[in-house]
Structure 1
């Protein structure tokens, strides 16, 4: 099961959002703390200014009235508030301490009793009474903190910009990963645009160069192999014609068998060297498996029985020529080296359509499984004289990858070799032009 967190973009999103959340929360805490400090300092400066102004007013113009909410109270007045206690909130304690620091030594500072307008009472050593001045509330009540609104707006904008940047960063890498997957499956791989950071451009450039060199090498090898195989067809035809004219029947039959084996090897070479995508129309795999099994039985009456187990349904379709070549090679391989019955099975799984061919023989040694699909590799030296070139499974794997599938070769638990090919669900929906340019339960014995 694919998870979004497993992708590069998903992890970039998690990192970016996590860092933005952490930074915004830290900045919010710092701004709130600094705002409280600034508010306290402003209130202290305002109170000091008013106290000094009242003192100047009393000294210079005692007969003039004081401004509203500013007054001088006698020392023995019952309205004088009591000394501040230790249960005072921290902001108010900080305000009183800062105010005492700004006033002369020995100044007594008290706050108005709760319930009345906020004011501060100041009595210095030279003051004849208490100077009462208003102060701004340190924490005015607010229905909504606007800072949170601005923080949410800035955070949303930053997240969108960061996600766009992360997408721009991972998009070239995703294109490169898709091209690597196509190249690994043997499908045509067009050059990947060289975009993104310098290191990614260098990586993309190296990949494009590697694809060009590998494609050129494969093309040269395919041309050479196809040329040799094609040039051998004419001498083989002449050799067979001359063999038919031999008088010795035993020698004639031996030469004809050898010529037929060589012709079969040449045909395998031509199929393996064919490097163009299959442009034939897709056909239902279940129906085609039935036709191939009947045709195989008709051509070889003494061949091993073929058992069909077709469960995929009509939605599973593959190009006709590719399907015929894969099944023909697998049936030839099973009949030559396996044991009856040979089972052709189709089914639908979570990861795609599955087409498998298995037999009930001895299978392949575990150490040789990795070499089974390599071209020109014969796992049994005794097979060399039977018209086999070691290309059967290699052709099957190449054909499966060419149409976007994967081929897995392994031994069955009950015994025998099984070749399972898995194809994506959309393989049959691809238009013919795209494939040319790139890439009910039933069981019976026939």
Structure 2
């Protein structure tokens, strides 16, 4: 199952959101602490200014009344607050400490009575009484809803901008990863646009150059192989004709068999070198499997019939020529190297249509499985005869990938070789004209 967190974009999203959450929480905490400190400093400066103003007023204009909420109380007045004997709130304690630091050292500073309007009582060494001045509330009742709303707006804007930047960064990487996947499956790979950071552009440029060089090498090899195989068909036909004219029946039959084996190898070369998409009409895979099974039974009536487990239904279709070549190569390989019964299975899988061909022979050694589908590789040197060139499984893999599918070669639990081919569900809806257009059409579509 594909998890979004495994992708580069998913991890960038988690990283960006995590960083933004931490930064906004830190910003919120710093703003709150700085706001409290600013309020305390402002309240201290305002109270100290009022105390000094009262002192000057008493010294210069003792007969003039004081402003509202500002008064001078005698030292022995009954309402003078006592020094705090219990723990007081931290904001008030910090205010009193800052107030004492702001005033001379011998100044006594006391808070007003709880429940009354906020005030501070100050008595200096030269004061005739207590100077009472109002102070601002150290923690004014402010609603946090507005701050949280602005915080949410800023956070959402930052997340959207960061996600857009992350998408811009990972989009070229995703295109390159898709192109690498297509190239690894042997499918036509159009050039990837070179965009993004400098290092990514350099990587994309190197990949495009590698694809061009590999494609050119493949084309040169295919042209050479097809030319050689095509040129051999004429002398082989003449050699077969001359063999048919031999008098010795035993020698004639041996030469004819050898010529037939060579012709089969040449045909395999031509199929392997053919690199154009199959433009034949799609046919039902289940019906074709039944038809080929009956044909093999008619050719070898004494052999054990091919077992069929066809569950895909009429929706599973493949191009006729591709399907015939797939089944003929796999069945020839199973009859030559495997053991009966041979089983053909079709079904609807989780990721696409599945076509399986299996036998019950010895299978392939686990160490040789990775080499099984390589061209011109014979896992058993004794298999060189009978017209086998080491291209059977290589042709199957190339045909399956050219049709948009995947091919997996392995041994099944009951013993024997098993070839599992998986094709996308939409293969039945692809128009024939699109398949005939080949790689150029796919490049334009992309």
Q: TM-score, normalised by structure 2?
A: 0.95
Partner of 1:79: 79
Q: Structure 1 residues 101, 35: closer, same or farther in 2, change over 3 A?
A: same
State the distance in 2 between where 1:333 and 1:246 align: 32
State the distance in 1 between where 2:12 and 2:22 align: 15
The aligned runs of 1:109-188 (5 Å cut-off) are 109-188=109-188
Deviations 1:156-215 (CA, angstroms, capped at 9, x unpaired): 111111111111101100100000000000000000001111111111111001000000
Shift in Å, 1:348:
2.4
Unpaired segments of 5 or more residues in structure 1? 440-446
State the distance in 1 between where 2:329 and 2:369 align: 17
Partner of 2:12: 12
Shift in Å, 1:152:
1.4
State the distance in 2 between where 1:216 and 1:424 align: 28
Q: Residue 144 of structure 2: SS of its match in structure 1?
A: coil
Partner of 1:349: 349
Deviations 1:327-375 (CA, angstroms, capped at 9, x unpaired): 1100111111211111001122323322111111222233322222111
Shift in Å, 1:431:
3.4
Shift in Å, 1:228:
0.6
State the distance in 1 between where 2:367 and 2:166 align: 45
Q: Does 1:2 align with 2:2?
A: yes
Q: Structure 1 residues 434, 62: closer, same or farther in 2, change over 3 A?
A: farther
- Asked if structure 2 preserves the Cα contact closer than 8 Å seen for 1:406 and 1:423, the reply is yes
Partner of 1:100: 100
Shift in Å, 1:63:
1.7
State the distance in 2 between where 1:170 and 1:397 align: 32
Shift in Å, 1:319:
2.1
Q: Does 1:194 align with 2:208?
A: no
- Asked if structure 1 preserves the Cα contact closer than 8 Å seen for 2:72 and 2:131, the reply is yes
State the distance in 2 between where 1:284 and 1:116 align: 93
- Asked if structure 1 preserves the Cα contact closer than 8 Å seen for 2:318 and 2:427, the reply is yes
Instruction: Kindly report the root-mean-square deviation, in angstroms, between the aligned alpha carbons of the 2 structures.
Output: 1.6
- Asked if structure 1 preserves the Cα contact closer than 8 Å seen for 2:307 and 2:342, the reply is yes
Q: Residue 377 of structure 1: SS of its match in structure 2?
A: coil
- Asked if structure 2 preserves the Cα contact closer than 8 Å seen for 1:303 and 1:335, the reply is no
Unpaired segments of 5 or more residues in structure 2? none
- Asked if structure 1 preserves the Cα contact closer than 8 Å seen for 2:283 and 2:319, the reply is yes
Partner of 1:443: none
Q: TM-score, normalised by structure 1?
A: 0.95
Deviations 1:256-302 (CA, angstroms, capped at 9, x unpaired): 22211111111100000011122233323222211222233334445
State the distance in 1 between where 2:247 and 2:396 align: 41
Q: Structure 1 residues 315, 259: closer, same or farther in 2, change over 3 A?
A: same
Q: Residue 413 of structure 1: SS of its match in structure 2?
A: coil
State the distance in 1 between where 2:22 and 2:433 align: 52
Q: Does 1:211 align with 2:208?
A: no
State the distance in 1 between where 2:40 and 2:434 align: 73
Which stretch shows the higher mean deviation, 119-128 or 219-228? 119-128
State the distance in 1 between where 2:425 and 2:32 align: 57
Deviations 1:199-257 (CA, angstroms, capped at 9, x unpaired): 11111111001000000000000000000111111111222222222233222222222
Q: Residue 356 of structure 1: SS of its match in structure 2?
A: strand
Shift in Å, 1:422:
1.9
Aligned length: 439
State the distance in 1 between where 2:90 and 2:107 align: 21
Shift in Å, 1:32:
0.8
State the distance in 2 between where 1:385 and 1:344 align: 26
- Asked if structure 2 preserves the Cα contact closer than 8 Å seen for 1:316 and 1:353, the reply is yes
